[in-house]
Structure 1
Amino acid sequence: MINFKQNTIALRILTVFLVSFTINRKNLCSNHPFFTPIKSPSVHFATAHSSLAEMIFDGHLSFENTEHTAKDFGGRYHFMPSAVLYPKSVSDISSVVKNIFQMGETTELTVGARGHGHSLEGQAQAHRGVVINMESLREPEMSFHTGIMPYVDVSAGELWINILHKSLKHGLAPKSWTDYLHLTVGGTLSNAGISGQAFEHGPQIDNVYQLQVVTGTGEVVICSEEQHSDLFHAVLGGLGQFGIITRARIALEPAPKKVKWIRALYSDFTIFSKDQERLIASDNSFNYIEGFVIINRTGLLDNWRSSFSSKDPIQANQFTSEGRVLFCLEVAKYFNLEESDHIDKDIDNLLSDLNYIQSTLFLSEVSYVDFLDRVHVSELKLQEKGLWEVPHPWLNLLIPRSSVHLFAQEVFGNILSDTSNGPVLIYPVNKSRWKNGTSMVTPAENVFYLIAFLSSAIPSSTGKDGLEHILTQHQRILNFCGRSNLGIKQYLPHYRTQEEWKAHFGTFWEVFSKRKSIYDPLAILAPGQRIFQKRRHLDNEDLKLNSSVDKGLDGNPSKDII
């Protein structure tokens, strides 16, 4: 609790903060069109922060040591907040949002929900606003239901890796994953959550039964396919624009014990993509299907993880990769110990239909946990070398099947001359198996590819591993996509103007913007996405109409506002 003495101290700190903020403010992106520098703190600005400082929370609100929330995994944008909320209850979050909403047009305060800090372009930051540290929200504990349709209720600030470990104690696990598990539930559900299981189970947003959400008016709402379905669909993949996810009910399935992990190389993209598409279309296939691109990498076959072994070591040693563009198929088959006697035969049957380079087949057998948490191993190694806390100018694209061959021809080996700065993932998904209605935007075709350029930049470098070179390369890729009308969409999108956002959402923009006016009428939430500007002149009648979620787009009355 914050007592009277703590409030007094907080107000004194606030006064010093406001003065020093004006004199010494350092904003790396002050020229951004959505943020206008303040020459001096206004009366409204000081009053708003005084109002926050006087609030009582189950957790606590801090005006000090906020620098860490102005950093993220991308390492490119640094927007300083005014305060950070460390909530211990949903009411803490609701109270802050409601307080700011009730200030109406008198304040520029906004709210950003921050999970584990893995956004790429400052999306979880709130310039001069309040950042909510969602990892502080851990009550109540995970609650498992092990019936016919098993699920787990979890806090949105929980990490997926923790859900994995605890669900395995019940012999269960979530169906769909991201490649990296040290992310929060709320963070991935606000985007999509895509990995090599998405071709079969859809993204993580397709595997949620129910959500608890704090809207932009401070209302706490339980929503699902049956209750407040419009808000439910809006929030999933909604980039944080319509509400802060505070709790989620995640679908589970029986968990396997072991994984056969396989890699094989291709030198022809047409053959590679044909095999990938054959695998995702099959009813009897692998459980995980991805791939990556390798350009001008030497010593390739000596650099697999130590857990891999070659199917034919003699032929593998004769294979050379220098100067070639190669495509690696990466697949996995899950199994339990009682299936050990036939799992190898099953895999051989699946591989027999593929046209990879026979000498480049590598196999490994690992535990289910080790496979799912594989990226964390690389993270720890990079941390030891000081190469994890560097800028990550990632570019994630969703490319229609009809355009992917033209894209590959122009980009791989031409615009992109090597892949030494980080992996380039490439794999198809079948959208016909996904659910409709969420806010996630994808290409119009049923089959499209995720191509992710996961670069790391060396801060002091001005060469090919430097930030400017990588950004220029990415812009060349985007320019080519635009000129050629490839019909791509960005995943984890980042744009600078609302016109670009409108183009991104296309015909869905009208629904998206209307939902915004209903669930976050003052545009308080997720300012770091830079989709909507904080509204300061909303008509009072509009405020009354939008002050709760009593009606969704379908006009149905709300029943579960709590």
Structure 2
Amino acid sequence: MPSDRRMFLSAGLGVTAALASRASGLATSAPAVSLESPPLPGNVSLDADARAATAHDFGRLIHRQPRGVLRPASGADIASLLRWAKGEGVKVAARGLGHSIYGRALVENGIVVDMGAMGSIHDVKPDCVVVDAGASWRDLFEATLAQGLTPPVLTNYLGLSVGGTVAVGGIGAASSRHGMQTDNVIALDVVTGEGHELSCSATENPDLFNAVRAGLGQCGIVTRATLRLVRAPERVRRFQLFYRDLPSLTADQRRVLREGRFDQLQGAVLPDGSGGWRYQLDGAVYHASGSAPDDKAVLSGLSDERGAAVIADLTYREDALAFGKFESLLRSKGQWSNPQPWLLTFLRGSNAERLASAILAGLRGDAVGPFGRITFYPLLKKAFRTPLVRLPEEDMVFVFNLIRIPASNDAAAAERMVAENRTLYDRIREAGGVQYPVGAFAMSPFDWEIHFGSGWPQLREAKQRHDPGHLLAPGYNVF
């Protein structure tokens, strides 16, 4: 098997807005600032390179030119900016490490707050860590692992900011056991759209706490987070199993999830290189050095094509950082900077297999690109407690993501995929599914009201209380 193909199969399975403005076509320089706009605070940069660097994101689908960029040294800097923005009616977007997909961290003629300037890790304790919102999960992971600790849920790709995932949820391979990353937040420091610096938790300003976690940045900018930690496992026994069809994969996924065989469980539908698909279950068992699990017992009764199974034993660190190798591969081929028109959703457990099969049957052979994938695996919803995280109304739900990695920088193809995403989302929503709110397609305020469902009044009221001028996170087009 070619080395590129092996890396593709072994990479982590998941990574991890507004009405569309200009798609593709990144600007090479920032236009001059209009003299008719109100003067900016002195610590906001007008540097053309800084503005150009924050006019696009990882998705490379939307371009929005900010008027200025703030690199804050503290929450007080952000609070001061927002008080000024409130008086002038200027929109503000917080940007972590730039990995949004569809312009959600961008703002046209407003101010980008570059949270990467606040990336310190302040205090690692046996049960929690205090970290700035702009820190990457990779840096946080390394700092906690040095003390034998880890966040309970890690995204497959660790080059995301803490504040960025707190704003949307933060899903990972251990989510069936530990929920979203937002379910493991103990407390937050937040600057509201009114320019107030507030601390919040389940007991202090709980309305703000519940509106900020998975609230798409609508009510405040997170500046610091206190996150739960657990003892890190020493090693990970990883099982990659392959199946002849989707029904066989789905049946075994349901079985191992209910039986709790794996500490991590994911799965994927992969292009096989000839226009067809391969079906993969990816499970992991944590263990101490010298006490690996019995492979036969772990895999007992499963219907995979056992001769194709790939079983590997890694340190916990090696396993957590595995996606970095895949990133390096894509960068070496120039595909990391191509448009990334992803679609991320959750399906009802009761119709997931049927709906996924129907969608797969209608996809073109190049639907995800040679290194893309369709992630497909079940979750038990009981571990999810964040009020604004939306999941289908069933005990078991399925992740269904089109991780599209186009082979070329083809604007027309990317636009076609974005349009297809919207069609698929409507189809999934009609069947009782919901989106994980980072995908590449336009959403209207009414779409978001439907998305949040019973949580919409809570978010609407919190928005009115904490950002009545509707200044924050305009890229989502929620209000």
TM-score category, normalised to shorter length: 0.7 to 0.9
**Alignment match, 1:451:** 400
The CA deviation string for residues 232-287 of structure 1, in whole angstroms up to 9 with x for no partner, is 1110000000110100011111112221111011123223212212222234x211
Query: Residues 267 and 327 of structure 1 are in contact (CA less than 8 Å); yes or no, is this contact kept in structure 2?
Result: yes
Return the match for 1:383 from 331, 352, 375.
331
CA distance, structure 2, for counterparts of residue 329 and residue 403 of structure 1: 19
* Aligned counterparts, 1:340-419, within 5 A: 340-341=290-291, 343-345=292-294, 347-417=295-365, 419=368
Query: Residues 22 and 63 of structure 2 are in contact (CA less than 8 Å); yes or no, is this contact kept in structure 1?
Result: no
**Alignment match, 1:235:** 212
* Residue 91 (structure 2) pairs with residue 99 (structure 1): no
CA distance, structure 1, for counterparts of residue 383 and residue 22 of structure 2: 43
* Aligned counterparts, 1:112-191, within 5 A: 112-139=93-120, 141-146=121-126, 150-191=127-168
TM-score, with structure 1 as normaliser: 0.75
Deviation of residue 489 (structure 1)?
0.8
The CA deviation string for residues 324-354 of structure 1, in whole angstroms up to 9 with x for no partner, is 53310001112221xx24x231x42121032
Pick closer, same or farther for the CA change 1:271–1:129 going to 2, 3 Å: same
CA distance, structure 2, for counterparts of residue 512 and residue 462 of structure 1: 35
* Residue 182 (structure 2) pairs with residue 205 (structure 1): yes
TM-score, with structure 2 as normaliser: 0.88
* Aligned counterparts, 1:180-329, within 5 A: 180-283=157-260, 285-295=261-271, 297-298=272-273, 324-329=276-281
**Alignment match, 1:554:** none
**For residue 143 of structure 1, what is the amino acid of its counterpart?**
D
Pick closer, same or farther for the CA change 1:223–1:430 going to 2, 3 Å: same
**Alignment match, 1:331:** 283
* Secondary structure in 2 matching 1:286: coil
The CA deviation string for residues 301-327 of structure 1, in whole angstroms up to 9 with x for no partner, is xxxxxxxxxxxxxxxxxxxxx665331
Deviation of residue 360 (structure 1)?
1.8
Pick closer, same or farther for the CA change 1:403–1:100 going to 2, 3 Å: same
CA distance, structure 1, for counterparts of residue 275 and residue 418 of structure 2: 24
Deviation of residue 289 (structure 1)?
0.4
Structure 2 residue ranges without an equivalent (≥5) = 1-19, 24-31
Root-mean-square deviation over aligned CA pairs:
2.3
CA distance, structure 2, for counterparts of residue 181 and residue 261 of structure 1: 19
The CA deviation string for residues 466-517 of structure 1, in whole angstroms up to 9 with x for no partner, is 32443344344235435xx311111124533212222222232222211110
CA distance, structure 1, for counterparts of residue 133 and residue 346 of structure 2: 26
Aligned residues: 448
The CA deviation string for residues 87-135 of structure 1, in whole angstroms up to 9 with x for no partner, is 111111111012212x1xxx34111000110001100011111001101
CA distance, structure 1, for counterparts of residue 108 and residue 275 of structure 2: 46
The CA deviation string for residues 412-453 of structure 1, in whole angstroms up to 9 with x for no partner, is 23334455441111111111122142x222211121111111
**For residue 126 of structure 1, what is the amino acid of its counterpart?**
V
**Alignment match, 1:53:** 41
Give the fraction of aligned pairs with identical amino acids, expressed as a percent. Answer: 29
**For residue 142 of structure 1, what is the amino acid of its counterpart?**
H
CA distance, structure 2, for counterparts of residue 224 and residue 417 of structure 1: 47
**For residue 145 of structure 1, what is the amino acid of its counterpart?**
K
Greater RCO, CA 8 A, separation 6+: 2
**Alignment match, 2:383:** 433
CA distance, structure 1, for counterparts of residue 432 and residue 150 of structure 2: 35
